[in-house]
Structure 1
């Protein structure tokens, strides 16, 4: 029996996808901030990839200095509002809170972070601005967390920046790839507008860089190029029947859901293949869209899943069922998906092996593949002298972000292979300083 009814209106969609971390009001923020112990050696700071001074901004909230709190956050992370909502705070800052040692609920750091930054955004008051012009120009490819973070820092350092985005909206993953119950499109785009209004970089939408000629033009017009291209489409599995109607990639499914909301059609019986956080999102989203039965299938054991425990608990909480130690063999059906043929597996010496004679079919009318994303190796092959590692990741200097082609720099998923929004934003800010160092060395 479905936990949710299929949403037919925007209002019903918003009810089904109610925010996991709803915005605090001022009273809630004051009460929650008063619980903080303001630890001297705050483990929450150490657990934050962007190193936000968390006790500092919480103290500022508690003393009524919300603008100061927002500045503390944004000085460390330009995606401060988004990260307050989409970061896995349960295993990062909040997971490190000392209250966990006392079996006391940890401080709701993420919600406090979003409270302060959203209040500042709503005020319209700028916290930053562009630096003294240097006369240097940088092209940023991709308006995702890495690209926008890099653009902000480069403008703060005085460089001219043009961002080239293949899609119609900015912020990449946070507007196209994050589950709607984590952050809304309105919240994401509000932060993007706030940042662009302060720093004054230019974004060219629907402007893919897709050919060698496009790359050469950038090289002719700009002093340096930043690659914030992220990852590509969902990887194919090579299964018989993978091309049947009703078999979709998780990345593509989530993007469609983020853009079209209740207009997206979801099967009555859905099978999600994968054991990562994206698989958990796709499964939970399917259930919230009214699927009567959602099965999450993973080739290893539950304890071997890459997903965070809280993400799996979230999926279970909306009725998703887990099926472990099974590997898909074929997607069955006659033109359309009718089921998935699985074989049971056993792990021997760390290797997954099929159990002979154990095949069975799970009936379904939709299959969502959450089995990883491809690297953008075809595009990267257009850039001369750019080297990739064996996994298709850009080889770069860990301190400066400079690639093997000295005019090119990179950060985010294209370099790390896939991580959180906060990692991309943090790495890109550091890389912007590497670009600055390079530009200032030019004659």
Structure 2
């Protein structure tokens, strides 16, 4: 329940209690002094019991304060049984507090019990076989008593219903809070998984490149060592043995040819390993695949006239923008679908990432958005982020594809 509603109901209860006191003070002349003093004491007892019902947090404390309030009200009913208006104000205030500060369904059960007791003790003097201690006062009639019970019944049900809604709203808020924490953790896990997948690929490529580099080193070292030894032998022979010298030259040629073939093979493997590293649009599709698998959010990519790669610098900036936008779509937007579009217009790359989520009430530049702006600004581009007119959140990026950047590897 909204705190404003709770405060309003509490103020209404205080107002009803005050109205009952004012009405009693205005009609108290009908009672003798001793009975008037008894009513005042019961009134104070009722107020203290209701105050304790508000401030007591434990269940036993609330039960005791509730019993005290019921007893105080019955004593008042014994003393001023004919004053229905006063008792109605006091009883309504009691039922408001009963509904607000007892949990559902305890408030309805306790309220029903109190209503039965209040109805029974409308005429305690007759119930107990006693005579009135005051001078004869006109008795309230049956329809008025029915109205009395009906009004209190409606008040009890209304406030109990409001309290039930409060409990459900609180449970829903706790669920939403738990879901927010879960989504934040999933977002962090998703980012970690994406980083791991990319790092694992890069580490595998690095290991392969290192292996090939060692192989090239071993091949070239072995071949060139042999060639140097053979050439030294040829030099030391001079021209004394043309046949042996020709054989040395042939051997050198064979060694050089084998070395060239081995080196070319290793270089082809090195080039192949470099080709397998995702960059450009391939890296975007890779992050799309991981993101969809982890979150269940659909991602649609329109590459337009985008080439396979813009070079490492632009590729990395585009990758980070898409990664951050996807993360925000899940964490903050609660999106179910994200659209990523690329298009080159007048030597400028236009990147648009839009989701169908909740959008943002306020655009706060956190670490993610600030990081995107820094990357794009470094490339001479611009970035705009905000709510889309058709709903959801949209990130729009413009990057100039100037000389020295476009196609740079």
**Normalization by structure 2: what TM-score?**
0.19
* TM-score normalised according to structure 1 size: 0.18
Structure holding more helix per residue: 2
User: Relative contact order (C-alpha < 8 Å, sep 6+): which is higher?
Assistant: 1
**Higher Rg of the two aligned structures:** 2
More strand by share: 1
